[in-house]
């Protein structure tokens, strides 16, 4: 195994800045062979990525974490995307039901520390349990979402799952997003039209006012310091501080280089 750092990806990230989302997906599929999956929470951007996978005939699993306390509209959106696009959506579940978790730990999401623990058990752990099957994940983060995501790179690293994250929509602004959705008649989670700018668990997500930041509706009861769950590492960590271990051959393939073992 060899070490891959965010600094190693700097030149590649620069070269990818003007690359289309579709070409980034093609590159990712070719580079990581069968050890890549897409991630989606059935929100607007994730649905766009799902449509792109369908259009490109990019045969890869789409991982969806069902926390057990999602809105029924989110689960319906998952089912509609499977029906429309024939995607291989793999639903991941937490180890404990919410009832079992509450009986064991109490109601965790009432304070910031408990919220982090709850999100880790219900969102992160299901993904971590299958992470050894993959070297890369396609996400749907966009800089135009603002906040911590305003500086997300095209390629980032996730130490928790020891994987590369590819963000093909990173440069898609809101206008491009809406145009793509309209032009391709993409099914959108109906909660978006009911004031939900972002959508998570039904316990911790509320609509937002037009004058509020997009993520104001996430953990509103905890104040502005709790706006991210942590399943996307760049939301909480500086990408430059993250590194992962991958086979040298794979790192060479990612970076487009060949290693000379001659002395």
Handedness of CA 51, 60, 9, 44 (dihedral sign): positive
Is a pLDDT exceeding 70 seen at residue 76? yes
Confidence bin at 235 (pLDDT 50/70/90): low
Number of Cβ within 10 Å of residue 146's Cβ equals 11
The pLDDT of residue 258 is: 67
Candidate list 50, 119, 204, 229, residue with the active-site label? 229
Is a pLDDT exceeding 80 seen at residue 229? no
The CA distance from 64 to 42, in Å, is 8
* Residue 229 annotated among the catalytic residues of the structure: yes
The pLDDT of residue 226 is: 64
CATH fold of 2-255, please?
A: Rossmann fold (3.40.50)
The pLDDT of residue 12 is: 96
Q: Can you say how many angstroms the Cα of residue 44 is from the centroid of all Cα atoms in its chain?
A: 12
Number of Cβ within 10 Å of residue 249's Cβ equals 11
The pLDDT of residue 83 is: 96
What mean pLDDT is predicted for residues 248-259? Answer: 88
The pLDDT of residue 193 is: 96
Quick: pLDDT tens for 9-21: 999 999 999 999 9
Assign 52 to helix, strand or coil. Answer: helix
Is a pLDDT exceeding 60 seen at residue 44? yes
Kindly report the length of the chain. Answer: 263
Quick: pLDDT tens for 48-57: 999 999 999 9
Is a pLDDT exceeding 90 seen at residue 137? yes
Return the DSSP state at 124: I
Confidence bin at 262 (pLDDT 50/70/90): very low
Quick: pLDDT tens for 103-120: 999 999 999 999 999 999
Confidence bin at 259 (pLDDT 50/70/90): low
The pLDDT of residue 4 is: 96
What mean pLDDT is predicted for residues 163-178? Answer: 95
What mean pLDDT is predicted for residues 69-89? Answer: 97
Confidence bin at 3 (pLDDT 50/70/90): very high
Is a pLDDT exceeding 50 seen at residue 261? no
For residue 210, give every residue at least 6 positions away whose Cβ sits within 8 Å of its Cβ, in sequence order, or none.
none
The pLDDT of residue 263 is: 37
The CA distance from 135 to 143, in Å, is 24
């Amino acid at each position: 195994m060899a070490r891959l750092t965010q600094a190693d990806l700097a030149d590649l990230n620069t070269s990818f800045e003007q690359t289309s989302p579709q070409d980034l997906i093609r590159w990712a599929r070719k580079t990581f062979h069968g050890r890549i999956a897409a991630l989606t929470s059935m929100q607007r951007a994730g649905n766009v990525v799902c449509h792109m996978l369908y259009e490109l005939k990019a045969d890869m699993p789409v991982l969806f974490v069902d926390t057990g306390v999602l809105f029924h509209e989110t689960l319906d959106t998952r089912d509609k995307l499977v029906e429309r696009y024939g995607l291989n959506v793999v639903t991941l579940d937490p180890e404990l039901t919410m009832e079992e978790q509450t009986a064991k730990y109490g109601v965790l999401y009432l304070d910031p520390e408990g919220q982090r623990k709850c999100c880790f058990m219900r969102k992160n752990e299901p993904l971590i349990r299958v992470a050894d099957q993959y070297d890369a994940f396609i996400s749907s983060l966009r800089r135009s979402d603002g906040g911590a995501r305003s500086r997300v790179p095209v390629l980032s690293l996730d130490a928790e799952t020891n994987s590369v994250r590819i963000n093909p929509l990173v440069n898609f602004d809101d206008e491009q997003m809406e145009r793509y959705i309209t032009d391709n008649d993409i099914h959108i989670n109906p909660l978006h039209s009911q004031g939900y700018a972002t959508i998570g668990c039904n316990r911790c997500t509320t609509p937002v006012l037009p004058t509020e930041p997009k993520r104001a509706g996430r953990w509103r009861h905890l104040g502005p310091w709790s706006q991210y769950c942590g399943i996307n590492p760049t939301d909480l960590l500086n990408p430059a501080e993250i590194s992962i271990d991958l086979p040298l051959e794979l790192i060479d393939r990612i970076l487009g280089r060949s290693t000379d073992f001659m002395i």
